[in-house]
Amino acid sequence: MPRDIERLNVEDVIKRATEVLKKNPNNFTARHDLGAAYLTQGQVDLAIEQFKKAIELDPKVDLTHYLLGIAYAEKNQLDEAITEWRTTTELNPRYAAAYFNLGKVYAIKGMVDAAIFALKKSMELEPHNPQLLAHIHLAQIYHAQGKTDEAIKLLKEAESVNPNNPRIYAALSAIHLDTGDFREAIKLGEKALESGIEEADVHCNVGMAYMAENDINKAMRHYRAAIGIDERHNRSYTLLGEALAMKGMFAEAQSLWEKALEINPQDWEAHYDLGMGWAQRGFLDEAIKVWQELLEKNPGYLLAKTQIARALEMKGRLDEALDIWEEMRKLGPENPDPYIQIANIYLHQNRLDAAYDMLMEAKRRGTADDRTLAGLGVLELKKGNEASALEYFTQANEVNPNFAFHNASLFKNTLDLKHIQALERRASGKAAKAIAAIRAVFEKIN
């Protein structure tokens, strides 16, 4: 924007430019300055109108095309913005900001190669720009491509240019969060915040890292900080709700998920969590209704479909649950989970041969996890083969020491106290530990 507009009050600029244009509608400078002033005020449509008229008067001014691109981008008219910024770089091949904006918009449109070229050009023209935004955006593209080492290297180079730039630490924190290095994500995110950046996304990322480290209280503090900065940061409402749910505060969690959906009705995670909140409080019909609404809006959110099946099982509506798992099996024939779930229902219905077939199908798909082993244990026990059942339960316990809790629903639906007592009489050593775990869970849920 011209320096006189930066110095003067925007209203004064509008007033002066309007007066000039009344006398001379073909005054380029007045058209340009009026557009710049409207853009500063957020009156984007008026800005576009004035910039276009200015360009008709003089199409060779790079700044006018650049600002018109900014205005188009504000309205999410990205193709038009690209056209103006390309014209800017044709008129002035050293216009680094235009290349930077082209890089950002190309990335949004999925034009990765073009984005990389434009961002590299911006960096070449302004290698010592203290903001280093081109470095940061290019690193984010590299990371999205799976070139995480290159992304981190680029950000480290940027850090050497400006070691006090908090955005570099924020970008590094986000990358480490994605790669599962949660402690490094926390360290760098906290450093970004200490260095002066106060953004909801940064607090939210640090909160997720703390959550992954099971520090729920610190996670909640950062989610609340994010909401304090941006009261419409729906992601933080969703995650804060999940944290509260983990502390058993389901009513409070539910209100936060509802708020997230109010802000963004397409926040599928919040919609899913809302159903989970109802289910965890024992309101299965309400949970099923919420998940069904989610699937009407987003049929591809299959996790909601699996939860409906589990809720139907808990309500004893086994045939309906079975239909859903069969549908899931057809959608992903190489996924072992539907086979295991179908087998569990068959075990509940005492359809032992059918259950065995499904468990073998699960094993053939590369899984011998604790769920498959527990199912085979129940199967052998129902057939009266206590020794084989003990062997399977012992293997399940070795694969997952929490197998009894992991398979609590299976045991609740298929075993009774007599089964467990019979196993206890035969068990010793590792087998005894496995059966003790089953008894502890069985007593807790019955």
Q: What is the pLDDT of residues 200-217, one digit of tens each?
A: 999 999 999 999 999 999
Instruction: Report the candidate in 228, 184, 224, 230 with the shortest Cα–Cα distance to residue 207.
Output: 224
Q: Please check the confidence at residue 280 and state whether its pLDDT lies above 70.
A: yes
pLDDT at 2: 47
Q: Please check the confidence at residue 82 and state whether its pLDDT lies above 60.
A: yes
In angstroms, the CA 329 to CA 336 distance is 8
User: Which residue is it, tokens 């505060």?
Assistant: 249
What's the mean per-residue pLDDT of the chain? 92
pLDDT at 367: 65
Kindly tell me the burial class for residue 215, based on how many C-beta atoms sit within 10 Å of its own C-beta (0-12, 13-18, 19 or more): middle
Average pLDDT over residues 93-112: 94
pLDDT at 113: 92
Q: For the chain, how are helix, strand and coil distributed in percent, rounded to 5?
A: 80, 0, 20
**Rg, the chain, Cα only:** 30
Instruction: Report the candidate in 200, 205, 273, 267 with the shortest Cα–Cα distance to residue 241.
Output: 273
In angstroms, the CA 401 to CA 403 distance is 6
pLDDT at 66: 97
Question: Each residue of 135-188: pLDDT tens digit?
Answer: 999 999 999 888 999 999 999 988 888 888 899 999 999 999 999 999 999 999
Average pLDDT over residues 339-361: 95
Question: Each residue of 366-416: pLDDT tens digit?
Answer: 667 899 999 999 999 999 999 999 999 999 999 999 999 999 999 999 999
Q: What angle do CA 405, 409, 413 make, to 5 degrees?
A: 135
How many percent of the chain have pLDDT more than 70? 98
How many percent of the chain have pLDDT more than 90? 83
Instruction: Report the candidate in 251, 389, 411 with the shortest Cα–Cα distance to residue 344.
Output: 411
This prediction's pTM: 0.73
pLDDT at 8: 55
Question: Each residue of 3-31: pLDDT tens digit?
Answer: 444 545 888 999 999 999 999 999 999 99
